[in-house]
Amino acid sequence: MLKVTTRTATELRTDSILDDAATVIRRIPPLWDLSNYVAVNPFLGFSSQPLPEAAHIIVNSLGARILPEISFYRQRWLDGAFGEAELATAAERADQAPEALQAILSGESPTPLRSANPTRTFAELHDLHFGTTWNERILRHTTLWCAAHISAVAASGTPIELYSSWREAALVDRSLEIAGLPGWRAFIARLPEHPAAALTQILSELGVEPEERPAYLYRLLGSVFGWASYLRRDVWAAGDQDLGPLLDLLAIRICSDAAVSLLAPQKTGPAAVPPPAADNLPPGSEDETVRMIFQEALENGFANRLIAQLNGPTPASGERPAVQAAFCIDVRSEVLRRHLESQSPRIETRGFAGFFGVFLNWQSEAGGSARCPVLLPTGVTIRSQQAPEAFSARTVLKKIASAPAASFSFVETLGLGYALGLAGDALGRLIMPRAAEAAAPFTLDPAEAAGVVPNDRITMAAGILKNLGLREQYGRIVLLCGHEGRSENNPHQAGLDCGACGGHGGALNARVACALLNDPAVRAALPAQGFPVPTDTHFLPGVHDTSTDEVHLLDLDQLPATHGEDLKQLRKWLAAAGVATRAERAAAMGIAPQPEGMIAKLLNRRARDWSEVRPEWALARNAAFIVARRSRTRSVNLEGRAFLHEYDWHTDPDNSILTLILTAP
């Protein structure tokens, strides 16, 4: 909120309007760029509100929905996904009669409706009334400007002044006048130079009542949801102290919308479309409160079936495990963990967020990237020790290809050579695994503000072991296995990678964590921290390719010669687990039963297919998050639908680990 000591009536009105704008802007979720893409709840901005209330606002303002239609719940009821007991529990929490709800599910009572109250922009109302397409035109006008201006500004690194630059360009832009909006440039000329003033002026001219403002402003931003979310990221990261370019975008939207209302010709005669009559409006929207009760009952049904499968408490085995393998809590790890453990009772797996507690800022020739949850700041900077490429034909070609003036002649000159490469790629002959980060050299020693000082290494290593629940027993090999997906020609490739690693593969985090835990000085200090790691325990990094279910072991040159047989056995176990995992996943992906070699080829082919943007289903079927010792879920087939986080209350006397898990982003 803006705070001033003395205010005129106009300033009071502007301040109130900016409060409404801030409320609406905070409803927009942040969106990360494609190279760092991670899943974000699209309704993150409503997290402080009850779900039915948020659903009501979203349906009215955006025409979107959070909850399924009642027909969906009716079918799930008939399928037995939830029953009378689950429905009664959910009804009691909402102070509703379960009998009345059963009557709705059975079809004996009509579907409960609430009055429909959709929000429309002025351009949309004009189009409805006169049969025009002005809303589509001005949306295209706005989004094209965003695409051109924001991209150019991002490339130059200069601050975004979206509204002022748009206003300056619109003063000489005749395109909308040519399209049939007379007086556009004159209208722009009388707009204030500051977006807040423009917002205040236009709301006054349009006569929008204060109680209608939030819904209207949200509708305006929601119509350019993608650009609004893109701009929201930096504002959100700064802590919402300034509305930033989102206020500019909102000003552009409202000014363009007002232009249609104030300038667009109003058709008369046979060509005009009469406004919709009240009796032709939708009768209502399905009541979100009732749907929320059905949703809770459905989730209760799933939870009850899941809990019934879990193992009872079992005493810990005193036998030292041959291998302890820590995987990301990701649902795709659940299947591989289950099949790996089936290879031997001496294999123990654990679950922890795939960045392994290393808040890594990775620096390389390609630039910097945060390898930790996007909602958290980085804490450790590590630089690649890869030597710069020597002067060679390859580096020369790379520089020529990136030069704008030479790009077309470069393609014409060397296109045939690249065509041969593309043909080999298509045939699957030249594809190489994503190995750059798995092999990039680095050092923990601080140099040029990169690395980790010794005391911090001890603290970080102790934190990793504490959060993994590793205190008493340690195998000869402890595998820290990150994960990454593989896909060709897919702009959303990062969506298949590790969200905990900021939308990147987890190889680097696993390698840095193992380097910390294998550091001799760190190992010598860990017993005093309560972690008596045996001298023959080696921490080995790896990465799980979730598109092909292959596990690649990394930094094997650091493995002691005494662990050769351990490594050989681990590779056999991982290979067998991969075979079983691929067979299970193939069935879920509609691949008919095949010999193992053929399934592996088919999954590799999907990952190489230029037209395949979903070589795997990533987190699509996630349904549960289980925080418990692995013994409670070991051998239980959770169908790749559960996040599994290791937790033992015996090793968490102050509840700090549980607090971390429950409050994680």
Q: Please report the DSSP string for 6-53 in residue order.
A: S--HHHHHHHHHHHHHHHHHTTSPP---GGG-----TTGGGTTS-HHH
Q: Per residue in 30-50, is it b (16+ CB within 10 Å) or e — as a string?
A: bbbeeebbbebebbebbeeee
* Residue from 285, 294, 250 nearest 60 by CA: 285
- Please give the pLDDT value at position 7: 37
- Range with lowest mean pLDDT among 95-99, 579-583, 589-593, 627-631: 589-593
Alpha carbon of residue 479 to chain centroid: 26
What is the structure's pLDDT at 38?
A: 85
pLDDT at residue 394 is higher than 70 = no
Beta bridge pairs of residue 626: 644
pLDDT the model gives residue 328: 96
**pLDDT recorded at residue 419:** 63
Give the Cα separation of 483 and 351 in Å (integer): 12
pLDDT of residue 153: 77
Instruction: State the pLDDT at residue 9.
Output: 41
Chain segment 23-47, per-residue pLDDT in tens: 999 999 998 888 888 888 888 899 8
Q: What is the mean pLDDT of residues 62-77?
A: 93
Token pair 């399209």 is found at 179
**pLDDT greater than 70 at residue 2:** no
Q: What is the mean pLDDT of residues 615-624?
A: 91
Average pLDDT, the chain: 87
Q: What is the pLDDT of residue 279?
A: 40
pLDDT at 34: 85
**% of the chain surpassing 90 pLDDT:** 65
132 three-state secondary structure: coil
pLDDT tops 50 at residue 116: yes
Instruction: Quote the CA–CA distance of 599 and 618 in Å, as a whole number.
Output: 18
Determine the pLDDT at residue 281: 43
Query: Is the pLDDT assigned to residue 294 strictly greater than 50?
Result: yes
Report yes or no: 63 and 118 within 8 Å, Cβ to Cβ: yes
For strands 323-327 and 624-628, give the pairing: unpaired
Average pLDDT of the residues in 451-458 = 93
- Please give the Cα distance from 214 to 25 (Å, whole number): 10
pLDDT of residue 354 exceeding 50, the answer is yes
Among 362, 338, 358, smallest CA distance to 348 is for 338
100-117: average pLDDT: 92
Give me the pLDDT at residue 418, please. 58
Contact 574, 340 (CB under 8 A): yes
